[in-house]
């Protein structure tokens, strides 16, 4: 992606330079009165300008190549720096093999113990102990678990209460019960509290403004 972009910018700059040179030529020809020119002259001039353009393109390409090479070198350098020196690596390798030999030599019981320890370490869950007091835990897995839970709950809700589930409100059910029941009584909920919220808020605002306006002339 980055490389592509880089290529694109390079090519665009190239075209720019070309157009620049053309425009320069045009300008020069625009300012002065037309001069007489032989075909040869114009041809050489054209060839020269072409050559120039080619040259610049080549130079740019080379520059780019150089840049890439340098980058590559830098990366390699960094990689090397990250790796431990070869002698250290060798040392570790030898130590490991020694340990293995040791464990192989030891009795089976101890091996089992070690396994237990490892298991215990596994049991600690996502956490892994680094030196000292700090622990490293994976955050992502838990997040995915909760998102899965959310998805499962959404599935349940959509199946039971989603579109096509033919639901009504408890208030309507209660009023129906009241209608069909033996002794009729007042409705459980007279007022729809969530009815026309915006209008109510607007009215309240207007009322406040009106009171405010009324007060100003009086004082």
Partner 1 sequence: MGEFKVHRVRFFDYMPTAIRAMAFNSRTERLAVARTDGALEIFNFADNYFQEKVIPGQDGRAVEALCWVGRRLFSGGLNGEITEYDLENLRPRYTVEAYGGPIWTISGKGTLLAVGCEDGTVKMFEILEQRIQFQRNLDRQKGRIISLSWHPSGSLIAAGMMDMIRIFDAETGRATHRLLVERGVGAPKSKGVVVWSVVFLSDHTIISSDSAGKVQIWDGLTGTLVRTHLVTKWDVLALSVSQDESSLIAGTSEGTVVQFQFISSTVDRQEKDWVRTRTFKNHSHDVRALVHTDTAVVSGGMDTQLVVRPLLDKVEKNTHESAMRKVAFPHRSLVCCAKKAGLLLFQFPDHLELWRLGDSDGHGKPDDILPVKRKPEKLIQLKRKGEDHICCSALSPCGGWLAYSTVTSLRLYRLQNNNISITKVSKLPKDRRSAHQLCFSTDSSKLFASSSNGSVVVVALSQPECRYLHTLKPKSGSRQTVHLLAASEDGKWLATANTDCEIHVYSLGKLTLHCTVPVYSSCPTAMAINPTTSNLVVVHADQQIFEYSLVQKEYTAWSRRLQKQGLHYLWLERDTPITHVAFNPKNPAHIILHDMFMFCIIDQSLPLPEAKNVLYNQMTLRSLPEPERIRHSHAFKICKNFQHLMCVSLLEDHSLVVVERPLLDIMSQLPAPVRQKKFAT
Touching partner 1, residues 112-131 (CB under 8 A): none
Range in contact with partner 1 (rule: CB under 8 A) among 30-38, 55-63, 109-117, 159-167: 159-167
Which of these, 173, 171, 166, lies nearest to 193 by C-alpha position?
171
Contact between 169 and partner 1 by CB under 8 A: the answer reads yes
Burial bucket for residue 49 (CB in 10 Å: 0-12, 13-18, 19+): middle
Minimum CB–partner distance for residue 111 and partner 1 (Å)? 22
The tokens of 180 are what? 């069909």
**Matching residue, tokens 């690596």:** 89
For partner 1, the closer CB: 169 or 215? 169
Contact between 164 and partner 1 by CB under 8 A: the answer reads yes
- Could you say which of 5, 12, 28, 180 contacts partner 1 (CB under 8 A)? 180
Contact between 134 and partner 1 by CB under 8 A: the answer reads no
Q: Provide the 8-state DSSP code for 84.
A: P
Contact between 12 and partner 1 by CB under 8 A: the answer reads no
Half-sphere exposure of 50 (CA within 13 A, CB side): 6
For residue 129, what are the β-bridge partners? 135
- Could you say which of 153, 181, 200, 208 contacts partner 1 (CB under 8 A)? 153
For partner 1, the closer CB: 58 or 157? 157
Touching partner 1, residues 185-214 (CB under 8 A): 188-189
Helix (H, G, I), strand (E, B) or coil at 24: helix
| Structural contact between residues 62 and 14, judged by C-beta atoms closer than 8 angstroms | no
Minimum CB–partner distance for residue 155 and partner 1 (Å)? 8
Burial bucket for residue 57 (CB in 10 Å: 0-12, 13-18, 19+): middle
- Could you say which of 13, 19, 138, 170 contacts partner 1 (CB under 8 A)? 170
Query: How far apart are alpha carbons 215 and 204 in whole angstroms?
Result: 17
Contact between 2 and partner 1 by CB under 8 A: the answer reads no
Residues that bind partner 1 (CB under 8 A): 145-146, 148-149, 151-153, 159-161, 164-174, 176, 179-180, 188-189
């Amino acid at each position: 992606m980055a490389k592509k972009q880089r290529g694109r910018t390079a090519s665009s700059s190239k075209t720019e330079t070309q157009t620049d040179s053309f425009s320069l030529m045009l300008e020069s020809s625009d300012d002065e009165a037309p001069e007489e020119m032989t075909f040869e002259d114009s041809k050489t001039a054209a060839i020269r300008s072409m050559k120039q353009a080619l040259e610049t393109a080549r130079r740019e390409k080379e520059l780019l190549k150089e840049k890439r090479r340098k980058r590559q070198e830098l990366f390699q350098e960094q990689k090397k720096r990250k790796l431990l020196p070869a002698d250290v690596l060798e040392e570790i390798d030898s130590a490991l093999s020694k340990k293995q030999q040791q464990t192989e030599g030891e009795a089976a019981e101890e091996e089992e113990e070690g396994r237990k320890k490892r298991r215990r370490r596994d049991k600690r869950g996502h956490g892994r102990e680094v030196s000292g007091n700090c622990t490293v835990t994976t955050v992502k897995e838990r997040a995915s678990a909760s998102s899965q839970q959310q998805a499962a709950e959404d599935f349940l809700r959509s199946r039971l209460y989603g579109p096509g589930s033919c639901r009504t409100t408890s208030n309507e059910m209660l009023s129906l019960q009241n209608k069909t029941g033996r002794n009729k009584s007042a409705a459980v909920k007279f007022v729809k509290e969530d009815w026309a919220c915006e209008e109510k808020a607007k009215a309240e605002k207007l009322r406040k403004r009106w009171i405010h306006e009324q007060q100003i002339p009086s004082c």
